[in-house]
Amino acid sequence: MSNHTLDLLNMQAAYAAFGGYLNIVEDMVHLGANNFNKIASEAAKCGHVIRYGANDFNQIAINAAKSGYLDIVNDMLQYGANNYDLIAINAAKGGRSDIVNILINRGANNITQIAIAAASSGHLNIVEKMIRYGVNDFNLIAYFAAKGGHVDIVDAMIQLGANDFVTIASFAAQGGHSTIIDDMIRRGANNFNMIANGAAKGGHIDIVEDMIKRGANDFNWIASGAASSGHLDIVEEMIPRGANNFDRIAKEAALYDQMDIVNYIDGKRACSVHS
């Protein structure tokens, strides 16, 4: 059997496992599919139990935790899954406080990352629980809540002492959340270049334009932010406004493998040489 055929069989088995089509999984296995860890992990995402020869119990538990399948998580713990922090972080992303509790009782102690995962997905109850366990970097939690647009968590962190309004606004800009940006500006955030850079990274040209109207003028920084995330349209908008540090913009694009922007900047360099 060729590697290509085997890859196709494993891919089809994984898709079938995700959908719970056990008969198709069995057919693919009989034909030669053998990536049992991938098959079992995909099945766990939707609460299906398919084991065969799977032994990556941590990954199966992680997928099950994020989707909230406590029974599968418990089974994997009994089989030997022991990456308690990573399983708990994924449970927090899915808002499963019960699974987080089990993992903390087992030894998960990266409470800051658990809080960040919960904040990113909008689960204030888990964030509050991690704060009771000792998390106290309220700015950090607010950053990730802002990026996800979770106003309630941002507000709760400010009440607890978060006060880095510029960075909170920049993270909100990455996610395109103007309501949070406006609130942070009212609270004193006035580094419009930094906020525009965040918006450019997220591809939100409307927020970039708003920050320019408010006074943002570091067009090279804004263009570099856009370049790092592959937003050629924003790079193109910044160049007529004065972005001319082509080395910086291209370097940022290349760092994140945004080769279309690297090629675009190379073209701009050539034009400037011959003009």
Superfamily of domain 191-275: Ankyrin repeat-containing domain (1.25.40.20)
32 φ/ψ sector (left φ>0, alpha ψ -120 to 50, else beta): left
> Quick one: pLDDT at residue 268?
75
Domain range summary for the chain, segments of one domain joined by +: 1-55, 57-136, 191-275
Residue 137: the pLDDT is 96
pLDDT digits (tens, 9 = 90+) for 82-122: 999 999 999 999 999 999 999 999 999 999 999 999 999 99
Q: Which residues of the chain have pLDDT under 50?
A: 274-275
Query: What is the structure's pLDDT at 14?
Result: 85
Using a cut of 0.85, tell me whether the model's pTM lies above it: yes
57-136 shares its CATH topology with 191-275:
yes
Residue 40 confidence (pLDDT): 81
pLDDT of residue 123: 97
pLDDT of residue 20: 80
Q: Tell whether domain 57-136 is in CATH 3.40.50.300.
A: no
Q: In the chain, what is the greatest distance between 2 CA atoms, to the nearest angstrom?
A: 70
